[in-house]
């Protein structure tokens, strides 16, 4: 059964969560009696596993489509890839009445959304996330972008999709590692907003065959939707969604992206929770629950990873404003707060954490 979640922002749209729901895309392709051409941006893994299901629908409905596939992974998320996609769209004479489909995980979604936002000064796009991570995080909210050598997501735009179509069946092909990679963004929502939601991940061994899969995905999207609706352009409350991300992004980059985003965010939540405990904000019982959940789903190897250069990347984080960075501090499970810190204080907190933990 499909569930529709409304995202009431400057360009409102809906997120549809269900199974076998790719056909919903067809209603977005007709504009003023004109059938849009479609450029599908995907990666080589998703192309092998799921592309035929989508293109069969297009062929049966006589949709004119083109496919551009990138190498999987964060290393494709750069301006060179964007330039190649621009050339691809222009070569296929895509116009402003046409549409881009982001068909894949978070990297594909960020790249395709960014490409759609700048080609011809902006054309429509639809997100079809194929991973748990992208379904509960990057496909919703309109953030797009690519990385620079100096940092993650340093170039990007806000561009809301026309729709998000989440087909839970695509999760069946995820490896255990990739599925767990997405669980940490769900755990994040629990730490931020709802202890009962957080407890799901302790009470069962959450996996893609869980009867609570739909519930977990829908609730995560609803948590994010509420914040995005209140703060579309990330000037206030939406910054809560960066829980674990300041140190997490630093970990990703310092590991040369060998540690996946979700696991890095999980470690980032661990670090900031331990810092909060050090500062007398977070009680030990809540800290221990957070650490237990993170340990339960972690599949990344941090033992051989040095944390010394993480700060180098934290200090060029895109969220720095006027020499300060807003940290998201857990006060208890289900409640966090924003605290603006200067960079020297962040350095000291991180070094104190290294000494104790």
Mind listing the domains of the chain with CATH numbers?
A: 3-173 (3.40.50.1970), 176-356 (1.20.1090.10)
- The number of beta carbons lying within 10 Å of the beta carbon of residue 199 is 14
φ/ψ (deg, to 5) at 321: -140, 125
Which residues, given as ranges, of the chain have pLDDT below 70? 32-33
Q: What is the pLDDT of residue 315?
A: 83
Q: What is the pLDDT of residue 304?
A: 79
φ/ψ (deg, to 5) at 354: -60, -40
218-221: long-range pairs with CB below 8 Å, 24+:
218/3, 218/5, 218/17, 219/189, 219/194, 220/135, 220/136, 220/137, 220/185, 220/186, 220/189, 221/5, 221/15, 221/17, 221/135, 221/136, 221/140, 221/166
Cα separation, 223 vs 63, in Å, equals 35
Q: What is the pLDDT of residue 33?
A: 64
Which residue, among 39, 40, 35, 32, has the nearest Cα to 61 in the 3D structure? 35
Q: What is the pLDDT of residue 12?
A: 94
**Residues 3-12 pLDDT 10s:** 999 999 999 9
**CB 131 within 8 Å of CB 139:** no
164 beta partners: 15, 127
**Residues 199-244 pLDDT 10s:** 999 999 999 999 999 999 999 999 999 999 999 998 889 999 999 9
Angle formed by the axes of helices 284-297 and 176-193, nearest 10°: 160
Which residue, among 93, 88, 92, has the nearest Cα to 41 in the 3D structure? 88
């Amino acid at each position: 059964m499909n569930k529709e979640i409304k995202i009431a922002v400057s360009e409102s749209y809906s997120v549809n969560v269900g199974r076998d729901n790719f056909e919903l895309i067809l209603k977005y392709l007709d504009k003023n009696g004109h059938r849009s051409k479609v450029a599908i941006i995907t990666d080589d893994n998703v192309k092998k596993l799921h592309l035929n299901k989508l293109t069969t629908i297009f062929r049966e409905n006589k949709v004119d489509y083109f496919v551009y596939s990138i190498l999987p992974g964060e290393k494709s998320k750069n301006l060179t890839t964007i330039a190649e996609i621009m050339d691809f769209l222009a070569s296929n004479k895509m116009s402003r009445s046409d549409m881009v489909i982001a068909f894949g995980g978070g990297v594909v979604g960020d790249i395709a959304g960014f490409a759609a936002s700048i080609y011809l000064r902006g054309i429509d796009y639809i997100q079809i996330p194929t991973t748990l991570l992208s379904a509960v995080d990057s496909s919703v909210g309109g953030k797009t972008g690519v990385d620079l050598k100096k940092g993650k997501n340093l170039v990007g735009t806000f561009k809301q999709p026309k729709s998000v179509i989440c087909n839970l069946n695509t999760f069946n092909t995820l490896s255990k590692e990739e599925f767990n990679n997405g669980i940490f963004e769900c755990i994040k929502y629990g730490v931020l907003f709802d202890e009962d939601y957080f407890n799901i991940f302790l009470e069962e061994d959450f996996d893609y065959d869980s009867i609570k899969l739909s519930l977990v995905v829908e609730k995560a999207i609803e948590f994010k939707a509420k914040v995005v609706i209140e703060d579309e352009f990330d000037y206030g409350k939406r910054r809560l969604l960066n829980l674990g991300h300041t140190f997490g992004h630093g970990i990703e980059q310092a590991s040369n992206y060998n540690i996946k985003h979700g696991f890095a965010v999980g470690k980032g939540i661990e670090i900031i929770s331990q810092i909060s405990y050090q500062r007398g904000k977070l009680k030990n019982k809540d800290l221990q629950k957070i650490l237990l959940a993170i340990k339960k789903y972690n599949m990344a190897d941090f033992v051989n990873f040095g944390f010394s250069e993480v700060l180098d990347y934290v200090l060029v984080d895109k969220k720095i404003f006027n020499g300060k960075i807003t940290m998201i501090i857990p006060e208890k499970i289900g409640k966090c707060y924003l605290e603006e810190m200067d960079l020297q204080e962040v350095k000291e907190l991180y070094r104190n954490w290294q000494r104790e933990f």
